[in-house]
Amino acid sequence: MRLQQYINESINDKGIFKACFMAGTPGSGKSFVISKIKGGDIEPRVVNVDRMNEYLKAFTQEQRNVIQDKVNRVTQNQLALYLNGMLPLWLDGTASKVSEVKYRKNALEEFGYDTAMIWVDTSVETAIKRAQKRQRKVDPEIIEILYDNIQNNKPLYKSMFPIFVEVNNDDGELTDKVILKVYRKMSGYFNTPVKNPKGKEIIEKGCKYLIDCGYTMNDIKNAISGWY
């Protein structure tokens, strides 16, 4: 049943070749913002590009060595299936390292994706307060360091992404009016025709999957092998 559902979605899903990166400090509420603005007739798949690293911090180094390779393979295989189906994506991560975002962005664009970014901002005090309520707490000093790094990256990301949307998610700032504005902006993005020349070419050929247009699953997996 799930396989048939995946096949149908790959063929008929709207918003193909569209990906949106999320950026923000741990505790800024990126996943919460996604939950508020997603919906409608397009359901991008959520890819948590940094969460596994946070999860592994709870284990000893010896335990990490045992489980990390297996977890990475499972996560990469899932992402490879999404890419093969050209499905729309939310890439949920801190975006604390510009080099990693560039690597992921370039990989997606090589397959034909358009890319955008939503920048979720809060004060560092709010980020620390929220992070302390999580099951897996993050040291306040780490959040302060990440906060400064991510703020410094902001001008670079603005220049990298033709669609760059800022969302203030500090306490009391994410009003219904703000949510509706961002929802409309991103709904327009996911619904507009693909601009990437490679994506347009693949669509014009009528390929239902990337592997129908000359790619192999190994090509896809190799391209994302450094994501995690």
Q: Enumerate the β-bridge partners of residue 214.
A: none
Q: Which domain holds residue 176?
A: 2-223
Residue 209 sits in a domain of what CATH number? Answer: 3.40.50.300
The predicted structure's pLDDT at residue 55: 56
183 lies in some domain: yes
Per-residue pLDDT, 96: 85
In a domain, 162, yes or no: yes
What is the mean pLDDT for each group of 10 consecutive residues in the chain (228 residues)?
Answer: 44 80 89 84 81 59 69 83 95 87 95 96 90 74 87 93 94 91 93 95 93 94 86
Of 118, 144, 117, the closest CA to residue 27 belongs to 144
Q: Which of 6, 50, 37 is nearest to 179 (CA)?
A: 37
- Any domain includes 228: no
The residue ranges of DSSP E strands in 162-204, in sequence order, are 164-168
DSSP helix/strand/coil, 141: helix
What's residue 76's pLDDT? 85
- The model's pTM is 0.84
pLDDT at residue number 5: 45
Q: In total, how many domains does the chain have?
A: 1
Predicted local confidence at residue 2, as pLDDT? 43
pLDDT for residue 50: 58
* Spatial distance between the Cα atoms of 22 and 44, rounded to a whole number of angstroms: 13
Residue 77 lies in a domain: yes
